[in-house]
Amino acid sequence: MGVSDERWALPLTVFTTTYNRAHTLGRTYRSLQAQTCFEFEWLVVDDGSTDGTEDLVGEWMAESNPFRIRYDKVEENEGLTRAYNRAFELAEGRLMLGCGSDDFLEPNACESVLRWESAIRDLPGYAGVAGACGDADTGELLGNRFKGDFVDVSWFEVHKHGMVGDKAEALYTDILRRHKYPEIEGERFIPELALWFDIAAEGYKVRWRNEILVRVEYSADGISKNFDDTILENYRGFIYYTKKLLGYKQIDRVLKFKYVGYFAHISHKKGICDREACGSIGVSLPLYKLAKLLGRLRFEKLKSKSV
């Protein structure tokens, strides 16, 4: 990568996008105070909160902390996609590590990120480094562990290594700025894979490790627990996302078929007819119907196992 320190005010930006999370944001803040390394800034992008978040963060900014806090707020709630893009533009750190407004960092998270990045900084083809996520309550790793100390692969290849579960990526800011989320009028959310695959398509890989960096809480009203509903509310963004994934030659046909099946599932819930839905993503009607059928069978099988 060879990113020069002189271009950036700090090695790392920890960024948090938030909307009406004043009741959970304190845990994020306290985890930053407990870090073993303070070579970072905390950038809070407030997506139009009305619950006193601004006053709360203002109080923290007035406190004596070993790291800088910066706060930016938009007047109206614009959605997660635009909040992320805003964070990418405002960051002053060489790397960016996201931490949700109801999540918190492990005490050595920032130190680990900077140590890992020092080993790849002058190597070509890296977008950054990544660790794992853990459950906020139990601390258990979400997903699975892969063999070895680390794996160097792109987002296109993670499934080949059996890597599942949420990850905590710390990526170079200049790369994120070149691959911001598309902003579609009226749409507030596009799945993050649209951004990750764009970066991978440019030839970048990530150094992945098993160590937990971020402990995550899946709030009852959050996107993770309400993913289908969020997608339904942002259906045009989901069309864009699915067409992008189907267009990558690096994604094998089996995985693309599964993406079509999930798109069919969402489109059915949206009340979109099969012919219109398959046309919107550029696949044939017979293939679409087959993917829809097999996807439903997989869902029923998983549902029966969970009962």
Report the alpha-carbon distance of residue 119 to residue 185 in Å, rounded: 41
How buried is 39 (Cβ within 10 angstroms: 0-12 exposed, 13-18 middle, 19+ buried)?
middle
pLDDT confidence of residue 295: 81
pLDDT confidence of residue 305: 42
Determine the Cα angle at 199 with ends 198 and 202, to 5°: 90
Three-state SS letters, the chain: CCCCHHHCCEEEEEEEEECCCHHHHHHHHHHHHCCCCCCEEEEEEECCCCCCHHHHHHHHHHCCCCCEEEEEECCCCCCHHHHHHHHHHHCCEEEEEECCCCCEECCCHHHHHHHHHHCCCCCCCEEEEEEEEEECCCCCECCCCCCCCEEEECCCCHHHHCCCCCEEEEEEHHHHHHCCCCCCCCCCCCCCHHHHHHHHHCCCEEEEEEEEEEEECCCCCCCHHHHHHHHHHCHHHHHHHHHHHHHCCCCCHHHHHHHHHHHHHHHHHHCCCHHHHHHHHCCCHHHHHHHHHHHHHHHHHHHHHHC
Report the alpha-carbon distance of residue 296 to residue 37 in Å, rounded: 48
Beta bridge partners of 68: 41
Using 50, 70 and 90 to split pLDDT, how confident is the model at 3?
very low
Rounded mean pLDDT, 168-186: 95
92 pLDDT higher than 80: yes
What does the pLDDT look like over 34-89, one tens digit per residue? 999 999 999 999 999 999 999 999 999 999 999 999 999 998 899 999 999 999 99
- Average pLDDT along the chain: 91
Q: CB-based contacts of 211: which residues, under 8 Å, 6+ apart?
A: 112, 131, 132
Report the alpha-carbon distance of residue 120 to residue 100 in Å, rounded: 26
* Length of the chain (residues): 307
Using 50, 70 and 90 to split pLDDT, how confident is the model at 1?
very low
Rounded mean pLDDT, 9-29: 97
The domain made up of 5-217 is a member of CATH 3.90.550.10: yes
pLDDT confidence of residue 6: 62
What does the pLDDT look like over 125-163, one tens digit per residue? 999 999 999 999 999 999 888 888 999 999 999 988 888
What does the pLDDT look like over 218-240, one tens digit per residue? 765 555 557 889 999 999 999 99
